[in-house]
Structure 1
Amino acid sequence: MIISTMQQIREVIALIFLAVFTKAVNASKPYWWPSDTAAGYCLSWRLGVEANNIRAWRTVPAQCSRHVELYMIAGQYQRDVNLIVDNICSYVDGINVSNDGLDAWILDVDDTCISNLFYYGEKRYGCEPFDPFGFKAWAMKGVCPAIPDILRLFNKLIQSGFKVFLVTGRDEETLGQATNDNLSAQGFIGYERLILRTAAYKGQSAIVYKSDIRKQLVEEGYRIWGNVGDQWSDLQGEYTGSRTFKLPNPMYFVP
């Protein structure tokens, strides 16, 4: 009888604690906590995009324009990239770089090394369909700012003795010089090679194109220790390297 009574008391205390705890949590939700169904959906949508569970999407859902804007400009994007780069740097510190000059890293360019945030801000942060001619005109200006943490990583890789290859889907014929000048102006100096898409890869998916580039590097004798990109297509396929690192990008999808 006593044991039964004590069990009942414990159950009542547990229920009271749960009620108090739930009330306290609800009263102290952080600023980003979804206040309505639409906000909650946008958080879930962005998670699905970054986890690659949502694929081949063409535009950001219209109701998520403000959500993506705040994510990109209000500090969380910067914090996320900082955390990722800190982890990459820890991985780099554990690699014994050889003296044969064949330890390599691959970095994507758009929204990995340099940012197109200003351009996509005019496109409602991805809610409008991709405009290849408009983007080309933007890229020709050569004013994309560096993503600070990736520049920090880039400099660490160079100083550590890695050969850094910048691999981009930008067209070599029309955007080669503008891209090179943009990267140099933003501090990306000392990389081994800037590789752009040539006519031979016209019409091929990013996965096929970048896999072939990585294959060529491996056949040249390079050991790819790391591969960083903002698109899953930067990191999929063959010869991806010892480790891949995905940066967040909820503004567009590249197959």
Structure 2
Amino acid sequence: MGSRYVSESGFYMTSFAATIFIASLVTIGVLLVTSVVSLAVMLQSCENKSKGVVATIDKANDNHHYCEILALHGELNGLKPDNVPPLCRNLAVQYIETGGYTRDLDFVMRMIENFFDTVSPSKNQTDAVLIDIDNILVSDPSVQRVLESYTKLHSKGWLLILLSRKHENQRHVTIKHLNSIGFDGWSSLIMRSDLEMEMETREYFCRRRTEMTEQGNEIMSVISSQMDALMGLSLGIRLFKLPNPLYYNFENNHESRIHGLVQSEN
């Protein structure tokens, strides 16, 4: 006969049953330990993933702030798009394609419209608004919004003087481009001579503004997306800085359009 075990309560158990009972307890213990270990691993994995997401967000924010600082100093020092790191060029493209540029441009154009709702040109027609047309009139996201404000200024009787960094030999094709996108009624278009092409752009703009004031014009405002047109003497009453995705090379787009216009004339 097999061995029997009896407890104080009178419960009898064979050795075989006792073995199975103990084995079951061991199995349950192993399962509990395994579950605890698995749960700990899962929690650690979730924590690591969370840290990874936070690190990614922090990295993206760092890149954004870095490119913002670079943009500011790039504009102050005339940094060319070719000198900009690829990272910032990519962010600039995203800034345009996701609607950030259009949104910021609209904010500034509203500021311009609100300001000019509070002032009026004099009757002698010498009060001028200077508009830097480079960049803002060659990018599709900006043309229509700028045109809206331009039309309002023109209807109120302001003398609209357009500024460009381009050489005088591009005057005809530039005027054709302006007409094609609806910009008409301006007073004059200022472009650079051979001598002025050798100057720094900020010196060129300053020189031309000084000439305007000496000729009797009163500069009310200068509107530009670039800092070189907003520095120096004879800047008028109010300056407006339009958003400028420094790293997105509108110049290539502009040159291709100019080339297309020239080809169409031949």
The alignment's TM-score, normalised by the length of structure 2, stands at: 0.66
Partner of 2:32: none
Query: d(CA) in 1 for partners of 2:207 and 2:69?
Result: 28
Aligned length, in residue pairs: 193
Letter of the structure 2 residue corresponding to residue 222 of structure 1: N
Give 1:62 shift.
1.6
Query: d(CA) in 2 for partners of 1:157 and 1:248?
Result: 20
Query: d(CA) in 1 for partners of 2:181 and 2:110?
Result: 21
Letter of the structure 1 residue corresponding to residue 234 of structure 2: Y
Q: 1:248 to 1:99 in 2, by over 3 A?
A: same
Query: Are the equivalent residues in 1 in contact too, given 2:101–2:245 (CA < 8 A)?
Result: no
Match of 2:158 among 162, 165, 189: 162
Q: How does 1:54-133 map to 2 (within 5 A)?
A: 55-56=76-77, 57-58=79-80, 59-112=83-136, 114-116=137-139
Partner of 2:237: 242
Letter of the structure 2 residue corresponding to residue 39 of structure 1: A
Percentage identity across aligned positions? Answer: 25
Q: How does 1:81-230 map to 2 (within 5 A)?
A: 81-112=105-136, 114-116=137-139, 147-173=143-169, 175-230=170-225
**Runs of 5+ consecutive residues of structure 2 not aligned to the other structure:** 1-49, 250-266
Structure 1 or 2: more helix by fraction = 2
**Runs of 5+ consecutive residues of structure 1 not aligned to the other structure:** 1-26, 28-32, 118-144
Query: d(CA) in 1 for partners of 2:239 and 2:71?
Result: 14
For residue 185 of structure 2, give the secondary structure of its aligned residue in structure 1: coil
| C-alpha RMSD of the superposition | 2.5
Q: Which has the higher contact order (CA 8 A, sep 6+)?
A: 1
Letter of the structure 1 residue corresponding to residue 221 of structure 2: G
Query: Are the equivalent residues in 1 in contact too, given 2:67–2:88 (CA < 8 A)?
Result: no
Letter of the structure 1 residue corresponding to residue 207 of structure 2: D
Query: Are the equivalent residues in 2 in contact too, given 1:52–1:232 (CA < 8 A)?
Result: no
Query: d(CA) in 2 for partners of 1:190 and 1:40?
Result: 44
The alignment's TM-score, normalised by the length of structure 1, stands at: 0.69
Larger Rg computed on CA atoms: 2
Q: 1:51 to 1:65 in 2, by over 3 A?
A: closer
Query: d(CA) in 1 for partners of 2:175 and 2:128?
Result: 20
> Cα deviation per residue 1:17-69 (whole Å; 9 max; x = unaligned)?
xxxxxxxxxx9xxxxx9944552233213432554487433422222232111
Query: d(CA) in 2 for partners of 1:190 and 1:47?
Result: 36
